[in-house]
Amino acid sequence: MESIILKFMKKSIEIAQKNENIFVGVLAISSNNKIICSNEKQDTNDWVKYILHELELLKVNNLDSLYLTINTYTNNEFGLNTVLNYIKINKIFIGLPDPKLKMYLADDPILHFNNVQFYPDDLQKAIISQNASLFIESHQNIKNNNYYSQKRISELVKKNLCELGYYITEIDISNNKSVSKLSQFLTDNYHLSFDKSKCIVEKCLSDAFNNKYSSYDYKNDARYLNSMWSSTFNSICNKIGLNLRDDNIINVGVGSGNEAAKIFSTCKRITFVDIALDGLKKIKKFMPQSAIILSSAENLSTVEDNTFDAYISLRTYNSSFFNISNALKEAERVLKNNSYILISIANGFIDSNFEIIPGLIIPNTEFVNIYRGLDTIRKLADELLLLGFIDIKYLPTTEEIYLFAKLKK
């Protein structure tokens, strides 16, 4: 991320002013990267009125960018929509959704504005700290969901490494959230070869996924509250012309194997790939005609080019230590021309009231950001476009967001 963008993001947090009960920071930026105005000297409880008044005094009705720490939702209205009614804005930088939000709303400008970027995780955490009491009391706090609090992949990897004598902190994990980076960390700190370090990291990661998903309790899963999720999956397959029974399919990321057995039971030709062995064993027992590969999505080296009619990966691409770019390159390589890719991003958690809250966890917090999954989907779509995929579409549901496209080689 450009240093000037980070500078403005940090500045917006530093100048945040209280709007009723929530701290909000706003910066209006010109095309030559100058601050036109901000709410640093805001003398009202309404950042919207203050910023619009300042821009009116300056006779400005066009901004290159707007930095907003929280997309406030007050009296059933998004403040940002009011600003957009009067001011043309090229880019919007958003920190977090209003802590009052617990679902997607049709008039949320972040869902429809084309040029949106989000603050990085460390700055999102700073915004949470600034409004700690509101976020703690909000539906976006999933601390009471013990499964997600106690069985996070990053924590399990840290535990596995420590048990092997490689002592690593949460900050070390957070700063090295890929297999290659974490391997290099071990190499630099424990005088191991990179290949040795990589083997250790991959084994710890595999064991972590086995630990989490071999005994996975679906009562803690958003899909548990929506028995129709498999029907949604099947309808998407039908919509794009994917024939589950007869097409040659690769499914990357089987998890526990329970759901894969449910939705792929009619497949005549299917290959299952996962980094953890337990789920593969389970699916092989249920579907002996299937092929299994113990590997990561980023490395399908045992598969030849142009092999499959369809590539399906459900709720895997937002896994910890996952390299999206490498995985998509492998997907493109193993797919035939005019084949299909279908990916979903996990996008729902169960809160203490047993309701589904859309979004993804902000790393190393107990809070869900409802925009996080949408941001991931947009990045995936951009990469698919670069790889030659066409007809790229996405469909958000209560528990996941589906992305599907056709490959034109």
pLDDT of 365 reads 85
Q: What is the CATH number of the domain that holds 73?
A: 3.40.140.10
- What is the separation, in whole angstroms, between the first and last Cα of the chain? 31
Reply yes or no on whether the pLDDT at 33 is more than 70: yes
Q: Which of 34-43, 237-246, 250-259, 332-341 has the lowest mean pLDDT?
A: 250-259
Residue pLDDT, tens place only, 150-178: 567 888 999 999 999 999 998 899 889 89
Going by pLDDT thresholds of 50, 70 and 90, the confidence category of residue 398 is confident
Q: Which of 246-255, 329-338, 345-354 has the lowest mean pLDDT?
A: 345-354
Which element (helix H / strand E) includes 62?
Answer: strand 62-71
pLDDT of 217 reads 61
Reply yes or no on whether the pLDDT at 321 is more than 60: yes
| Mean pLDDT rounded to a whole number for the chain | 90
Among candidate residues 91, 117, 136, the one where a domain is terminated: 136
The domain total for the chain is: 3
Reply yes or no on whether the pLDDT at 220 is more than 90: no
Position 141 in a domain: no
pLDDT of 102 reads 85
Residues 162 and 231 in one domain: no
Position 165 in a domain: yes
52 in Cβ contact with 66 (< 8 Å) = no
Reply yes or no on whether the pLDDT at 113 is more than 60: yes
And the tokens for 169? 């902190």
Higher pLDDT, 48 or 139: 48
Reply yes or no on whether the pLDDT at 323 is more than 80: yes
408 in Cβ contact with 337 (< 8 Å) = yes
Position 251 in a domain: yes
And the tokens for 160? 């596995």
Angle between helices 194-213 and 179-190 (to 10 degrees): 130
Higher pLDDT, 367 or 13: 13
Compute the distance between CA of residue 25 and CA of residue 39 in angstroms, rounded to an integer: 7
Among 238, 243, 408, which residue's Cα sits nearest to residue 335?
408
Residues 37 and 71 in one domain: yes
Position 38 in a domain: yes
Q: What is the CATH number of the domain that holds 366?
A: 3.40.50.150
| Domain of 39, in residue numbers | 3-136
Rg (CA), the chain: 23
Position 142 in a domain: no
pLDDT of 229 reads 83
pLDDT of 57 reads 96
Question: What is the pTM (predicted TM-score) of this model?
Answer: 0.80
Q: Within a 13 Å sphere around the CA of 225, how many CA atoms are in the beta-carbon half?
A: 17
Compute the distance between CA of residue 308 and CA of residue 99 in angstroms, rounded to an integer: 43
Position 11 in a domain: yes
